Amino acid sequence: MPRRHSVKTGESFLFSFSFWLLVDASKSLDIRTVEKHGRKFRFYPPFRSGGINRLPMPPIRAENALFLAGRKKAPFPAKGELIVLAAIPQANDPTKMTLTHELGTDFKTKPSEFPMDSLRIDSFPGTQININQQVVNFLDRLRLSSRPWWINRSIDPIVGLQRNAFASDKFGQPLEMPYGGCGARTPNGIEKAVTNNI
């Protein structure tokens, strides 16, 4: 809920998304200020909050997976997150679509189109403003300008809902370590990553 402040006081808002904002990592993004209806909005560059697997969905924690009573979880790891495989759309070649696959908790080469999931916006003054609708409108314009069709939509149509799978016996006992599933769907999108030109 918006809170009341004096007219001299601004308010800063932090947002996170269920989709990627693919940012051109080769270019420096500036802080931009715009004025609308007598109010100033300061937009900071999108930033990354999620883990390195870069899916805005939670990974499966091994200790939370359910098994039949009396059955051991081995060969599941005792604790921690099961491995996740993410396929990140890339537009570094204008003639074709490519994907960057990331396995585990680190990557060797930072992709040129780096997926950000968070945003900060300042408003001056900060009294009684429907900032959420302003952000939705901004993201809609961003989607039309840069053509990532998934902006303002959940990421699951691209990557699917499955995170892991493993072979099991008739009692559900694991016969192998869980492996990460991966999905990707990239028609008609990311012709341009987000830059200061948008």
Q: Which of the pair, 140 or 180, is modelled with greater confidence?
A: 140
Return the higher-pLDDT residue of 55 and 145: 145
The yes-or-no verdict on residue 10 having pLDDT over 80 is: yes
DSSP conformation letters of the chain: ------TT--EEEEEEEEEEEEEETTSPPPPEEEEETTEEEEEPPPB--S-TT--SSPPPBGGG----TT---TTS-SSSBPP-EEEEEE-SSTTS-EEEEEETT--SS--SEEEEEEEEEEEES-SS--HHHHHHHHHHHHHHHH--TTTTS-SHHHH-S--EE--B-TT--BSS--EE------TT--SS-B-TT-
Q: Are 121 and 42 in contact (CB under 8 A)?
A: yes
Q: How far apart are CA 21 and CA 193, in angstroms?
A: 8
> What is the pLDDT confidence band of residue 106, given thresholds at 50, 70 and 90?
low
Asked whether the predicted pLDDT for residue 85 surpasses 80, the reply is no
Q: Are 120 and 131 in contact (CB under 8 A)?
A: no
Residue 187 has pLDDT above 70, yes or no: no
